[in-house]
Amino acid sequence: MINVAILGFGVVGSGVAEVLTQNKGIIEKKLGKEVNIKYILDLRDFPGNPFESKVVHDFNIILNDPEVSIVAEMMGGSHPAYDFSKAALEAGKSVVTSNKEVVANFGAELISIAKAHNVAYLFEASVGGGIPIIRPMCNDLASNNICEISGILNGTTNYILTKMTAEGIPFETVLKDAQDKGYAERNPAADVEGLDAARKIVILAALAFGKAISPNSIHVEGITSITTEDVELAAALGYSVKLTGHAKKTEDGKILAMVSPRLIPVSAPLSSINDVFNGILLNGDMVGQVMFYGPGAGKLPTASAVCADIVDVIAHVESGIKLPDYTVANDDDVACFESYSCKRMFVSDSAVALEGTLANVTNRVSCDKCDLTAVITEEMTEKEAQAALVAISGAKMYRVL
């Protein structure tokens, strides 16, 4: 029998207990072993809950119990999640997690501690909710040089943008709905201001390029200033507005990563990814472009990915598991964002100012109802785009895929 301890009995933690219980037969048939939830660590009690008797409030009970070989960390936040994960690995227990914040900030260190203690640190659920993405990148695409990653990486903001676009529902109402459905972070600012997607793109970039850059070192913009008028103007020009993460290697070998709203042509694959779904496009030098698609947030999809890691650890208990491999990046590894070049959409209430400032306009549309004009430009760098924004008072700018 394999004993597992669950850290954090919130949305995902309770989902893991549900998956391990509901699909006990399937999991045990695959492994030939029983998987037992021995403890659930949480600050709260859960009177009447079927798992009530497993709840403990002291992490040391888990740490000091030699029968617990796997710790599933779903606490959220950096501390004490990082500290408990580190202590568990050092005590010879494998750790699996859905915690993007810990993986993005401490992943390289925790992987190296896991290797030193001959145990596993796995984080399939940290990116893309229920979508298998980490394991395919490490295993199935191992013979590829991955040169570029683009994706819709946050279910909450995709849900909000979908509802704003299709139903014209105001931002705050949709956010509340996403929180009620268990998609949003404890502090939804991390979703709507882009930090959650930033954590995910740096995790994917670390797997692709072998260097973990800090989420704080990249350009991050959220969706809080997007209006239904902007979305309508983009649609009239043939684009959907999506919050995307993007990472690539520049010609001088640096890593350029960013999170921002982008206009996606309606004919492009990412454009049709709606609601809480995520979609991730990877470009490999051998395979070409592959797309991963599925539910990007939510209790059972995310728990499904955590349980896949639990199964993987148990399946490789004898042979040892191949862990992701990357190190912490230096400042020098991060490309300067000023040189990032792409097409743009500028929106302003002055068509004259737009036409007078932007020499390279290819397409335009005006909205009589809202008295705004939007234009699409040829490619321009961030530096040029920021200068244009200064010149056109009150204008907004969107990057175009």
Q: Is 191 in the site for ligand HSE (CB under 6 A)?
A: yes
Decide if residue 280 touches ligand HSE (CB under 6 A).
no
Query: What single-letter amino acid sits at 376?
Result: I
List, in sequence order, every beta strand (DSSP E) within 184-334. 211-212, 219-220, 239-249, 255-265, 277-284, 288-295, 327-328
Q: Does 184 bind ligand HSE (CB under 6 A)?
A: yes
Among 42, 101, 124, 185, binds ligand HSE (CB under 6 A): 185
Name the residue nearer to ligand HSE (CB basis): 122 or 184: 184
**Number of residues in contact with ligand HSE, rule: CB under 6 A?**
11
Quick check: 183 binds ligand HSE (CB under 6 A)? yes
Check residue 373 for interaction with ligand HSE (CB under 6 A).
no
At residue 229, the 3 state secondary structure works out as helix
Phi first, then psi, for residue 229 (nearest 5°) are -65, -45
* Contact by Cβ (8 Å): 34, 266: no
Contact with ligand HSE (CB under 6 A) among 155, 294, 295, 324: 155
Member of 14, 97, 156, 271 binding ligand HSE (CB under 6 A):
156
Single out the catalytic residue among 200, 211, 242, 248. 200
Is 154 a residue that touches ligand HSE (CB under 6 A)? yes
250 Cβ neighbours under 8 A, 6+ residues apart: 256, 335
What's the closest the beta carbon of residue 106 comes to ligand HSE, in angstroms? 17
User: Binding to ligand HSE (CB under 6 A): which residues in 93-132?
Assistant: 129
- Using an 8 Å Cβ cutoff, are 347 and 376 in contact? no
Q: How far is the CB of 361 from ligand HSE (least distance, A)?
A: 35
State which residue, 62 or 175, has the beta carbon closest to ligand HSE. 175
In the shown chain, the binding pattern of residues 235 to 254 toward ligand HSE, with x for contact by CB under 6 A and - for none, equals --------------------
Task: Assign 318 to helix, strand or coil.
Answer: coil
Interacting span for ligand HSE (CB under 6 A) from 150-158, 239-247, 332-340, 368-376: 150-158
73 touches ligand HSE (CB under 6 A): no
Instruction: Find all residues with CB under 8 Å of 18, minimum gap 6, and list them.
Output: 299, 300, 303
| Closer residue to ligand HSE (CB): 6 or 113 | 6
30 catalytically annotated? no
DSSP string, 322-365: PPP--EEPPGGGBPPGGG-EEEEEEEES-HHHHHHH-S-EEEEE
Is residue 297 within the footprint of ligand HSE (CB under 6 A)?
yes
Rounded to whole angstroms, the Cα distance separating 314 from 321 reads 9
The dihedral built from the CA positions of residue 201, 13, 317 and 101, taken in this order, carries a sign that is positive
Question: Omega into 269 within 30° of 0, i.e. cis?
Answer: no
Q: What is the 3-state composition of the chain as percent helix, strand, coil, each rounded to the nearest 5?
A: 40, 25, 30
Q: How far is the CB of 159 from ligand HSE (least distance, A)?
A: 8
Q: Which is nearer to ligand HSE, 152 or 392 (CB)?
A: 152
Contact window for ligand HSE (CB under 6 A) among 58-66, 103-111, 183-191, 381-389: 183-191
Nearest 5°: the CA angle 247, 252, 253 is 50
Regarding 296 and contact with ligand HSE (CB under 6 A), the answer is: yes
Binding stretches for ligand HSE (CB under 6 A): 129, 154-156, 183-185, 191, 196, 296-297
What amino acid positions are annotated as catalytic residues?
200
